[in-house]
Structure 1
Amino acid sequence: MATSWVGIGIGGEYPAGSVSCAESSGELKEGTRNRWFILFTNSMIDWGFVIGAFVPYAAAAAAHNTHYSTIWRTSLGIGTVFPLILFVLRLKLKEPEEFNKNSMKHARTPYWLVLKYYGWRLATVSLIWFIYDFSAYSFGIYSSTILANIYGESAPLTTVFGWNTMINIFYIPGTMFGAFVSDWLGPRYTLALGVTLQAVVGFVMAGAYAKLSQPEVVGGFAVVYGIFLTLGELGPGNNIGLLAAKTCATGIRGQYYGVAAAVGKIGAFVGTWVFPYIQAAGGDSTTSAQYPFYVSSSLCALSGALALLCLPHVGQDTIALEDARFRAYLEAEGWDTRQLGLRKAEGGRGGVDVESADPEPVVAVEGAVEKKE
């Protein structure tokens, strides 16, 4: 029941908040737009992973590894503080200008036209997100199990949560530094770079696991495993949401992003469900820990290839350009684009009142329309 409420609350808000963040980033200084989107979306999740592991550690330490009910109730109670703060801040948030001009709030969404134009792209983004969550969430949930093979199942809670906190800290350099890389290289190339390097590290970990799994080198294992995770954040962790938010037009961005995010969460479910079977297929303790890294690394290579071959380049002005292209496509298909926008037009139709709106000079951009700066 608790998980259901979390899914309705955070799961329902995160896609809406992310697309709003993407649209707002278009109003920021060129050359910084990708980093600010990442810092306010995926980076916040990664800081949540760190805090989510540290709070139970602190509670367990305060309870001297006893009174388990007190530990989990305290941890859960502290976890409610951040959503309440977010709720208050969300009430004061205004819609960005791009949404005001291109929303389909007052129009019936032409789903068939949307699927023809964005179907392949949406399928690619969704598959990459599925692959990423398949690995990231399953590894995150079972990291304590992997570590237990090294420090033993009888370790106290402070040891378990302490090592998990340290490993989760490796998410932070990946997402923070990667936010800037996404502006320098673009999200598509950054994603491909991250997953390629992650695949290399994953294969190395799998091959050297017999040595890394020795109790006396648990610190070394944690560092190498942490590098594996940080590369995941530099690549798809930071950029899959960015690609989902900026590879489609504003009018359908919320639904497009929501579908991709939902497919990603299906990947998380599938990953956590099949992860024990992947481990069991290995047989002994060493091989059972190697198999997940082989599977995950292979999937990393696949997602990198998908990003490079099947997704478009996402630049600093992609949102405005994508809106112009999609508007031109709809007009070519005979769909009345005067329905777009939040303001009501005369005659009862949705969209911007074209008679009262100030005309803006335009220039042709790759078969579409772009506002002249």
Structure 2
Amino acid sequence: PSSLANATMTSSVDLAVNPGQAETSQGDETKNANVTVWDTESDISKNPKRTSWFVIFASALANFSDGYQNNLEASILLLPQRPWKGVTRGPIQVLTSTLMATSAAPICTAIYLITLTATNNNLRTAFHAIYSISIFLPLFVAVLRFRMRDGLLFRRNNFKARTSPPYLLVLKRYGWRLLGTSSAFFVYDFINFPNGIMSAAIINNVVPGKDVRQTAIWQFILALLAVPGPIVGSWLCNRIGRRWTGIAGWTGYIILGFIIGGCYTHLTTHAIAAFVVLYGLMQSFGHMGPGATIGLMSVELYPTAVRGVSYGVSAAFGKAGAAIGTQVFTPIRDACGPASTFYLLSGLSVLGAGIYYLLPEGRDIDLAAEDESFKIYLRSEGFELDKVQQ
């Protein structure tokens, strides 16, 4: 529920505040008009600066909370009361994190679409409907948080009794791994976030008449096509390993990105359905590969004592990649056309696959043995891990 709550919260912000295009009738004439979730008579819509700052604050707060919770969840999922066995921890991690996060987009879009249909394209009502679900789920999770208890491995191996963990020693032992997971996170979010943000604008531009409801239908189909990705990824991560599952996802990005980019004009002009299906399959490959495994690898490649910190650093690079990628993709799209972004996506996916190839495989790592090995390493360097309450 926590992963789903975080994702619906951030998805609702992105979906609700993005302007759309709707057709409005005036007498016998029909014209395109820009519409937003804000009522034209509201105080907020009369003050654009106030609206902009509200949107920025809401988005920042939602994404801050999302990043904080993702860090917490990634460590918790790997360390329940009784540690998962090696054959189950990967699929469970993917299904309870990536799948839930991926499912949020079609859920929010479905609510948005149902509300539009019921209210005859009343975006103000759609705004409140989306936020209702995004507020309810985090409140539900907050109640569950009070009943949570730290996992056994965490209670045995954390640095709670110390105020200053030996970060230099951690970097000395795990620095290359941290560089690898951080780089992979950066490249994936550099591609994934702009791709998701621009998908609505791209679909809006190819829908005849730019009808807001038709655009929402195609957005829903696009979001739904991505959901099978994490399910397949949860199966593959044990069958072929985390690393090769990620590489398979990057390969799908490469192939489909070049196909969509090369056929963009024909697809968006004569075959919108084929365009959406290919676009959705490309996103599904992303969620199957790096989307499903980068979070998993960023926690299981490190010992319990520094797992949360290591994931947090890796994810922070991902957030930086998302911010930078959005600023890079947008001017390229404006200058060279939407097709160019798919070529860029495919080219960067080659880099992502290369980074994944250099990462160690996490499938066969024994978490308890890794913790003991880390303790031995610290003692050999003159650092004794304080005992904590079992």
- Verify same fold: TM over 0.5: yes
TM norm structure 2: 0.82
1:155-304 mapped onto 2 (5 Å cutoff): 155-214=210-269, 216-282=270-336, 288-304=337-353
Aligned residue for 2:89? 33
Shift of residue 320, structure 1, vs aligned partner = 2.2
Letter paired with 2:349: C
Shift of residue 50, structure 1, vs aligned partner = 1.4
Shift of residue 29, structure 1, vs aligned partner = 4.2
Distance across 1 between alignment mates of 2:194 and 2:108: 16
Aligned residue for 1:335? 383
Aligned residue for 2:205? 149
Secondary structure of the residue aligned to 2:216 is helix
Give the 3 Å change call, closer, same or farther, for CA 275–80 of structure 1 in structure 2: same
Secondary structure of the residue aligned to 1:80 is helix
Structure 1 gap ranges (5+): 283-287, 344-351, 353-373
Distance across 1 between alignment mates of 2:280 and 2:190: 17
Distance across 2 between alignment mates of 1:40 and 1:276: 32
Distance across 2 between alignment mates of 1:334 and 1:20: 29
Aligned residue for 1:45? 101
Aligned residue for 1:87? 142
**Which of 131, 134, 154 is matched with 2:187 structurally?**
131
Shift of residue 26, structure 1, vs aligned partner = 6.9
Instruction: List per-residue Cα deviations over 1:181-232 (Å, max 9, x = no partner).
Output: 1111121111111102221111121112222121x31001111111111000
Instruction: List per-residue Cα deviations over 1:98-140 (Å, max 9, x = no partner).
Output: 1111111112200111111122211211111111111111111
The answer to whether the 8 Å contact 1:33/1:316 transfers is no
Give the 3 Å change call, closer, same or farther, for CA 202–8 of structure 1 in structure 2: closer
Distance across 2 between alignment mates of 1:8 and 1:291: 31
Shift of residue 25, structure 1, vs aligned partner = 9.0
The answer to whether the 8 Å contact 1:25/1:37 transfers is no
Secondary structure of the residue aligned to 1:325 is helix
Give the 3 Å change call, closer, same or farther, for CA 80–10 of structure 1 in structure 2: same
Distance across 2 between alignment mates of 1:322 and 1:58: 49
Aligned residue for 2:74? 18
**Which of 335, 347, 369 is matched with 1:321 structurally?**
369
Give the 3 Å change call, closer, same or farther, for CA 226–206 of structure 1 in structure 2: same
Distance across 1 between alignment mates of 2:183 and 2:94: 20
Give the 3 Å change call, closer, same or farther, for CA 317–233 of structure 1 in structure 2: same
Aligned residue for 1:110? 166
Secondary structure of the residue aligned to 1:106 is coil
Aligned residue for 2:356? 307
Shift of residue 238, structure 1, vs aligned partner = 0.3
Distance across 2 between alignment mates of 1:302 and 1:103: 35
- Between Structure 1 and Structure 2, how many residues are aligned? 333
Instruction: List per-residue Cα deviations over 1:136-156 (Å, max 9, x = no partner).
Output: 11111111211123214x423
Shift of residue 316, structure 1, vs aligned partner = 4.3
Give the 3 Å change call, closer, same or farther, for CA 25–169 of structure 1 in structure 2: farther
Letter paired with 1:291: S
Shift of residue 8, structure 1, vs aligned partner = 3.6
Give the 3 Å change call, closer, same or farther, for CA 131–9 of structure 1 in structure 2: same
Shift of residue 11, structure 1, vs aligned partner = 2.2
Query: How many percent identity over aligned positions?
Result: 30
Distance across 2 between alignment mates of 1:233 and 1:190: 10
Distance across 1 between alignment mates of 2:376 and 2:115: 57
Distance across 1 between alignment mates of 2:81 and 2:384: 28
Give the 3 Å change call, closer, same or farther, for CA 21–39 of structure 1 in structure 2: same
Distance across 2 between alignment mates of 1:290 and 1:156: 22
After the TM superposition, list the runs of 4 or more consecutive aligned residues in structure 1 that deviate by more than 3 angstroms. Answer: none
Distance across 2 between alignment mates of 1:211 and 1:25: 54
